Amino acid sequence: MPELPEVETTRQGIAPHCEGQTIRQVVVRNPRLRWPVPDDLPQQLEGQTIRTVERRAKYLFLHLDTGSVIVHLGMSGSLRVITDDSAPMRHDHVEIFLDNHRSLRFNDPRRFGCWLWTTDWSQHPLISQLGPEPLSDDFNGAWLFRLSRQKQTPIKSFIMDNHVVVGVGNIYANEALFKAGIHPKRKAGRISLDRYHRLADAIRETLQAAILMGGTTLRDFVNSEGKPGYFAQSLLVYGKGGTLCPDCNTSLKDIRMNNRSTVYCPRCQR
């Protein structure tokens, strides 16, 4: 599933093929995504030139002169540049045909993704409330500490909240909390500034590692060469409930929080 590193990888992959290209045609094969693809999306886009492709959190933007397309890959979405005349496959819901005889094809089996149109992307309700990028200077322990005062919510829910920081999915939350030695159920408001510094570092390191490994975090991901994803091999606790803690050999606990798989070491994480 696309985590923030995969979305950035996607942006880098498609941008050179899209930027500066004029849109010839937009085909919506199935508009029933997370929200319905707007009926007028094709006519908003056709004839316009894609100026830039940008990423914010896990959202991608195709910036045109009159507005922007907001794309989210959801759980199972992918964007590919098509260079031949290969026929669309199952779940290829949206396709943008460009002047360079290439196209941008969106595939999303679970349809948690979205394609929306906005004339003012930064003020869009999905975007305007987002927290800082985890790899930016705006994100640090002091920010987490300040935002978390009086908060009763568990720390794991807190760091997975997009208003706090973007891009921390369930896998990263588990890994970062283990690295920082913080129990996932600890109340966010009851963590010291020092420990928040450690946590912010852990979040940054975990995301950075995933990016360096090629942005492959899906545990069963197999690339085109049939090799498993590299980041999966460096997971410390996620998916390892019942096995022994790499630091203290205590059996890792596997519980459910907010209906999400949560793994931690009951001895190392307090």
Partner DNA sequence: AAGGATTCCTGTTGGC
Partner DNA sequence: TGCCAACAGGAATCCT
Q: Which is nearer to DNA, 112 or 230 (CB)?
A: 112
Residue type, 45: L
**Rounded Cα–Cα distance for residues 241 and 38 (Å):** 43
Residue 236 Cβ vs DNA, minimum distance, rounded to whole Å: 14
Which of residues 42, 44, 112, 181 is near DNA by CB under 7 A? 112
- Residue position matching structure tokens 């096995």: 243
Q: Which is nearer to DNA, 53 or 173 (CB)?
A: 173
Phi, psi of 14 (to 5 degrees): -90, -25
- Count of Cβ atoms closer than 10 Å to residue 64 Cβ: 20
The one catalytic residue in 56, 80, 260, 267 is 260
Q: Which candidate, 125, 122, 64, places its Cα nearest to that of 96?
A: 64
2 counts as catalytic: yes
157 binds DNA (CB under 7 A): yes
166 binds DNA (CB under 7 A): yes
CA distances from 109 to 95, 159, 185, 235 (A): 15, 28, 33, 26
51 counts as catalytic: no
- Applying the rule CB under 7 A, the residues between 116 and 145 that interact with DNA are 125-126
Which of residues 17, 55, 58, 93 is near DNA by CB under 7 A? 58
* Token pair recorded at residue 185: 């159920």
69 binds DNA (CB under 7 A): no
Phi, psi of 127 (to 5 degrees): -110, -40
**Rounded Cα–Cα distance for residues 94 and 28 (Å):** 5
Q: Which is nearer to DNA, 70 or 98 (CB)?
A: 70
Which of residues 24, 80, 91, 204 is near DNA by CB under 7 A? 91
260 counts as catalytic: yes
Q: Which is nearer to DNA, 51 or 111 (CB)?
A: 111
1 binds DNA (CB under 7 A): yes
205 counts as catalytic: no
109 binds DNA (CB under 7 A): yes
67 binds DNA (CB under 7 A): no
Residue type, 32: R
The one catalytic residue in 2, 134, 154, 184 is 2
- Count of Cβ atoms closer than 10 Å to residue 66 Cβ: 9
220 binds DNA (CB under 7 A): yes
153 binds DNA (CB under 7 A): yes
- Provide the phi-psi class of 57: left if phi over 0, else alpha when psi is between -120 and 50, else beta: left
Which of residues 11, 24, 34, 51 is near DNA by CB under 7 A? 34
| 172 Cα distance to chain centroid | 11
**Rounded Cα–Cα distance for residues 130 and 122 (Å):** 10
Q: Which is nearer to DNA, 2 or 98 (CB)?
A: 2
Q: Mention every residue, 6+ apart, whose C-beta is less than 8 A from residue 193.
A: 141, 142, 145
* Binding-site ranges for DNA (CB under 7 A): 1, 3, 32, 34, 57-59, 72, 74-76, 90-91, 109-112, 125-126, 150-154, 157, 160, 162, 166-167, 169-171, 220, 238, 256, 258-261
Residues identified as active-site: 2-3, 58, 260
